[in-house]
Chain A
């Protein structure tokens, strides 16, 4: 049974997530922050060796940003065929990602990976991808994705959600409808309540 919700229904997942291999002992390295101290929040990032050793299979693949970056030319034709999805982690600065990506709509899928459900950066990233960078295709939340975040994810521009494997996606569907008339304008409903109806 698939645990993927897309546009309010459970669907089969056609995408294979590409994960760099674990090499020897040295698997964890703090993100080398080119920015400043507070960006160093301890998330795991892939080493150059890991990225180089990553195997990308055939078919539709969801590729981490850094892996795509290293294989940009090789993957170009597959991107054009709609076979490559871009995977961004919440700790990767979206403006840096977008500086590398010429045309975000070339990707049939963009997924944002959230390591812990309490990491609300995913909402801002979703919002920016839709409103600032004009992404129109499937926007998926993956990782520690639980039903009580779905309503907020939907309002932040996501339209698909890979529910954590140990949870029931069927039940999670209910939470997409937690509230019928949200107050504020957001990505899904741009107008606030007082502009939508005559209050």
Chain B
């Protein structure tokens, strides 16, 4: 993974000093609440219900074991001994003190980490596929470009105060796993007819209050121009995006208002001026960054391992874990594995300091000392030998990190919700926990099969509910918490936004509602169909009918 040089290190050190000074000025009353707000937000610090929340950047989800140990130590010293992985592949601390944040940043800087631009109206952490560099369907490893873009976007002077937050995702696989279509800018790397790396650029996607999938603004962009083309897009947005209404300030609203053709014309006109400026990426610079992401020193291994095969045959629990949590790898004899942060009955994405230490040890022992966070809020060890899978599983299981539910109904994406977040309309964690307990039977869970259930506590959609096969949105009705249900959302190449099935439900009703959606699926599915396929084939009405029929019966 990328290692800081003197310039990177100096920049984060200077950031610590700058933010320490800003905090001191705020505490001394020299900065008003309103003036300090964008400063602390651009450093990932929110003022929440109970305490501030600090969001620490994990660039494109990559972490070293050393960094994870440090995060665990920080959570222990400055927080309550746990952290929360977010859907932007970042780590959030729910209970730090505002006065401690400069010291936390100083600690982070010692392991080449920071909290720069993890919130606020600026370019946020750039996200990508958690299997970057190891996925068999990968065409281009997007991490070198993601790092080049991270550096370019860090303290970009022209785009420091945009109309609203700005999210970029990059992906270089056949099957999109980075939801590029749900981002302000999505970049899909591919090989063009000449064998050169090219980029398909999507713009104007986003979830939130107005969920819209992105539109292709350019089918073919040479990779050298990735930064200048982004500059053109973001300049048009910075100058013309709405600033009078935060709910209408995202780039997607501007793209809709202008129409993609007009927007594209403005961007292309701007780009004529910016193209080939010094931010144009050279082969040498891409290679310099790319050397940090070269393939690991893999052993030459056979495609099969006898000890692994016999462990599967003799141990059903291990076999179940392998089925859900072990993923194909480019390199023969290796696998990527997901450590589930979704044990049933716990807040999705949460991890204790002790667990962080265990994962760091596992990464050191079995995966070249590196790991990744996924936007589904789990952790990935990307380079594990087949023969190491069984001992790894035993240790992960002992630490509560081996729930065999990846991609299943209980692998719920969930925002912190009303328990922590001051934006939330409703709690989301208790809903996730209740649904997990409703489907605690593993055999039943495996029989239901692939299903993505996403929960957001408000329409800001941090829990990506719009693209969940089942999406749950917390809404406020006359001061009480209700939940609106959508089905048919999907991430990936054939992404879609879910449809609302009808009037919202109380918290107590939610496990039953999900149960009834599953009943319809089980009854209607063909042998090969996943839940999402059945929804797409038969549509919303049968699901709606069954859910509300039983609701009426129960109300009588």
Contact = CB atoms under 8 A, between A and B. Distances in A.
A36 to B, nearest CB: 7
A184 B238 contact: no
A186 B158 contact: yes
Main secondary structure of the interface of A (DSSP, over half): loop
Contacts of A180: 10, 14
A123 B492 CA distance: 36
Given A156-B157, A178-B18, A194-B285, A184 B279 contact: yes
B278 A195 contact: yes
Contacts of B5: 199
Interface stretch (A51-59, A62-70, A76-84, A113-121): A113-121
Main secondary structure of the interface of B (DSSP, over half): helix
B495 interface: no
Given A38-B241, A181-B11, A192 B157 contact: no
Residue from A40, A154, A199 whose CB has the most chain B CB atoms within 10 Å: A199
Interface stretch (B159-167, B180-188, B399-407, B474-482): B159-167
A39 interface: yes
Given A38-B254, A181-B7, A120 B279 contact: no
Interface magnitude class on chain B: 35 or more
B527 interface: no
Interface string A159-193: 00000000000000011001111111111001111
Contacts of A184: 151-154, 156-157, 227, 279
A123 B155 CA distance: 12
B279 A185 contact: yes
A7 interface: no
Contact of B158 (A127, A132, A179, A193): A127
Contacts, number: 126
Residue from B15, B161, B162, B273 whose CB has the most chain A CB atoms within 10 Å: B161
A40 B245 CA distance: 11
Interface magnitude class on chain A: 35 or more
A192 B254 contact: no
Interface stretch (A15-23, A100-108, A135-143, A144-152): A144-152
A197 B7 contact: yes
A99 interface: no
A192 B282 CA distance: 11
26 contacts: A38-B241, A38-B242, A38-B248, A41-B242, A41-B243, A42-B244, A118-B121, A119-B243, A120-B238, A121-B238, A121-B243, A123-B159, A123-B161, A125-B239, A148-B35, A151-B155, A155-B158, A178-B18, A181-B11, A182-B157, A183-B152, A183-B154, A183-B155, A184-B279, A190-B277, A192-B152
Interface of B: 5, 7, 10-11, 14-15, 18, 21-22, 35, 38-39, 121, 151-163, 227, 235, 238-244, 248, 253-254, 257-258, 273, 277-279, 285, 288
